[in-house]
Amino acid sequence: MTWASLDATGVRGQVAAALAGLTRIAAWVRAAGPTVGGIAVVGGAVALVAANRLRRSVAFLGGAGTGALAAIAAGPWLSAWLPPAGWAWLAAVLAGTASALAPPLFPALLGALVGAHLGILAPVAGRPVVGGAIGAAVGAAILLMGARSAAVLLACLAGGVALGLGLLALAGARPPAVELAGSPVAVLCFAVVTGIAGAAYQLGGGRERGHHLEPPRLPRE
């Protein structure tokens, strides 16, 4: 498996689908009005400044979202006795609960999902399943090694998206807001900048507070 073997067309298609989905979400938030926009702003701001303190809540929400995405992605292989929405809700509840009980599980699950998705695009010995399994293991291991920092960064990126969409909703029908709402790349760039800033503030601030709270050492006689 090599990066050169990745299906570039498939990757571009997935990126385009993700950006189109972000555009639809932005349109829905703006159509929902200022109330939903205000909730998104508050939720995004909380994630940007307090995700590190709300580890179990972040893990529950992140795990639930990851579980739902995994169920949607695996829809063609799931049994027909439960509708797709039912599988998504079931996976969300199970993954969210497990992640709340063990917070490092959330970034590991997300890493496994992304790794499996990339691995399927890079089959090993012509078998996408093998590539997906290897990619899932590698992705889970990478994010698990820095689970706490990864969880904070992911929460802050999501918070940046929520904050940006909420501000667009509060801006109403003003021309700049309408134009930005139709540009998912602009929303994504805003989310990346604010998310990285929020994660740096929380993680760096935590280390600084820990350093200042360390009790002074008495001089040795």
Q: What distances in angstroms separate CA 55 from CA 2, 27, 113, 195, one per listed residue?
A: 35, 30, 20, 16
Beta carbons of 111 and 121 less than 8 angstroms apart: no
What is the count of structural domains for the chain? 1
What 3-state class would DSSP assign to 219?
coil
User: How many whole angstroms separate alpha carbon 192 and alpha carbon 187?
Assistant: 9
In a domain, 46, yes or no: yes
Between residues 67 and 218, the one the model is more confident about: 67
Cα distance between the two ends of the chain: 62
- Residue 180, pLDDT above cutoff 60: yes
Identify the pLDDT of residue 193: 93
In a domain, 129, yes or no: yes
In a domain, 17, yes or no: no
Domain that holds residue 178: 36-204
In a domain, 6, yes or no: no
What percentage of the chain's residues is helix, strand, coil (to nearest 5)? 80, 0, 20
In a domain, 78, yes or no: yes
User: How many whole angstroms separate alpha carbon 145 and alpha carbon 158?
Assistant: 21
**Averaged pLDDT for residues 30-59:** 89
User: CA gyration radius for the chain?
Assistant: 20
Task: Tell me what the pLDDT averaged over the chain comes to.
Answer: 81
Q: Which of the four pLDDT bands, split at 50, 70 and 90, describes residue 11?
A: low
In a domain, 166, yes or no: yes
- Residue 168, pLDDT above cutoff 80: yes
- Residue 2, pLDDT above cutoff 50: no
**Averaged pLDDT for residues 162-188:** 84
pLDDT in tens, 61-90: 998 988 888 888 877 777 777 787 888 899
Interacting residues of 73 by C-beta distance below 8 A, sequence separation 6+: 113, 117
Beta carbons of 150 and 39 less than 8 angstroms apart: no
Torsion of Cα atoms, 106 then 112 then 118 then 119, to 10°: 180
DSSP one-letter code for 127:
B
User: 190: which 2 tokens?
Assistant: 């805003």
pLDDT in tens, 117-130: 888 877 777 788 88
